[in-house]
Amino acid sequence: MKSKLVVVEDDDTLRTLMIQHLSNMDYEVEGLSRWHSVMDYLEKYEPSLIITDARLPDANSLEYIEKISVNYPVIVLTAFGSVRDAVSAIKAGAVDYILKPVSLDTLTITVERALDNAALRRDHMFCKRQLEQSIQRNSSLVGNSAEMAELKQMIGAVAPNDITVLIQGESGSGKELVARAIHAHSHRKKHNYVAVDCCTLQENLFESELFGHEKGAFTGADKQKKGLIEGAEGGTLFLDEIGEINSSGQAKLLRVLETGQYRRLGSTKDLTANVRIVAATNRDLETMSAEGNFRSDLFFRLNAFNIVIPPLRDRRDDIPELAAHFVRNHNFSTRVIKNLSSSAIRSLVSYDWPGNIRELKNVIERAIILSGDRQIIKPEHFSFSRILGKSEGAVTLSFDHDPSMEELEAHYLSYQLKKYSGRRGKVAEVMGISERSIYRMIKRYELDENSYKAS
Burial class (CB in 10 A: 0-12, 13-18, 19+), 51: buried
Are 327 and 339 in contact by the 8 Å Cβ rule? The answer is: yes
Binding site for Mg ion (CB under 5 A): 175-176
Amino acid (one-letter) located at 25: M
d(CA 447, CA 113): 76
Task: Decide: is 311 part of the binding site for ligand ATP (CB under 6 A).
Answer: no
- Give the residue at shortest CB distance from Mg ion: 176
* Contact positions with ligand ATP (CB under 6 A) in 321-340: 322
358 binds ligand ATP (CB under 6 A): yes
142 binds, among ligand ATP, Mg ion, none (CB under 5 to 8 A by kind): ligand ATP
Q: Closer to ligand ATP at the Cβ: 29 or 196?
A: 196
- Which residue, 94 or 155, has its beta carbon nearer to ligand ATP? 155
CB proximity list for 213: less than 8 A, separation 6 or greater: 221, 224, 225, 227, 264, 265, 266, 267
- Determine the Cα–Cα distance for residues 9 and 21; give it in Å rounded to an integer: 14
Burial 79-104 (b: 16+ CB within 10 A, else e): eeeeeebbebbbebbbbbbbbbebee
Least distance to ligand ATP from the beta carbon of 348, Å?
14
Q: Would you say 175 or 338 has its CB closer to Mg ion?
A: 175
Q: How far is the CB of 115 from ligand ATP (least distance, A)?
A: 43
Which C-beta is closer to ligand ATP: that of 31 or that of 169?
169
* Residue 358 contact partner, candidates Mg ion, ligand ATP, none, CB within 5 to 8 A by sort of partner: ligand ATP
**Among Mg ion, ligand ATP, none, what binds residue 154 when CB lies within 5 to 8 Å by partner kind?**
none
Q: Are 257 and 277 in contact (CB under 8 A)?
A: yes
Query: Could you tell me the smallest distance in angstroms from the CB atom of residue 332 to ligand ATP?
Result: 15
416 binds ligand ATP per the rule CB under 6 A: no
Residue 386: DSSP 8-state: -
DSSP 64-104: HHHHHHTTS-EEEEEETT-HHHHHHHHHTT-SEEEEESPPH
- Scanning residues 122 to 151, which ones bind ligand ATP (CB under 6 A)? 141-143
Quick check: 235 binds ligand ATP (CB under 6 A)? no
- Strand pairing of 376-377 and 339-340? parallel
Among 186, 436, 438, 452, binds ligand ATP (CB under 6 A): 436
Q: Any residues with CB less than 8 A from the CB of 217 and at least 6 apart, and which?
A: 208, 264, 265, 266, 267
In the complex, least distance from residue 238 CB atom to Mg ion, rounded to whole angstroms? 9
- Cα 156 from Cα 305, distance rounded (Å): 13
Nearer to ligand ATP, 169 or 249 (CB): 169
437 counts as binding ligand ATP under rule CB under 6 A: yes
Site for ligand ATP in 147-186 (CB under 6 A): 169, 171-177
Please report, for residues 291, 427, 446, the alpha-carbon distance to residue 407 in angstroms, rounded to integers and kept in the order given: 18, 18, 12
Using CB under 6 A, which of the segments 42-50, 105-113, 354-362, 387-395 binds ligand ATP? 354-362
282 binds, among ligand ATP, Mg ion, none (CB under 5 to 8 A by kind): ligand ATP
- Report the residue number, 67 or 358, with the smaller CB distance to ligand ATP: 358
Nearer to ligand ATP, 73 or 174 (CB): 174
Nearer to Mg ion, 176 or 321 (CB): 176
Closest approach, Cβ 315 to ligand ATP, in A, equals 10
| Residue 357 binds which entry of Mg ion, ligand ATP, none, CB below 5-8 Å type-dependent | ligand ATP
Beta-ladder partners of 197: 240
Residue among 437, 168, 394, 418 nearest 302 (CA): 168
CB of 199 to ligand ATP, least distance (A): 9
Burial class (CB in 10 A: 0-12, 13-18, 19+), 71: exposed
Looking at the Cβ atoms of 176 and 233, the one nearer to ligand ATP is 176
Q: What is the DSSP string of 159-208?
A: TTS---EEEEE-TTSSHHHHHHHHHHTSTTTTS-EEEEETTTS-HHHHHH
Contact between 61 and 87 (Cβ < 8 Å): no
Q: Could you list the residues that contact ligand ATP (CB under 6 A)?
A: 141-143, 169, 171-177, 282, 322, 357-358, 361, 434, 436-437
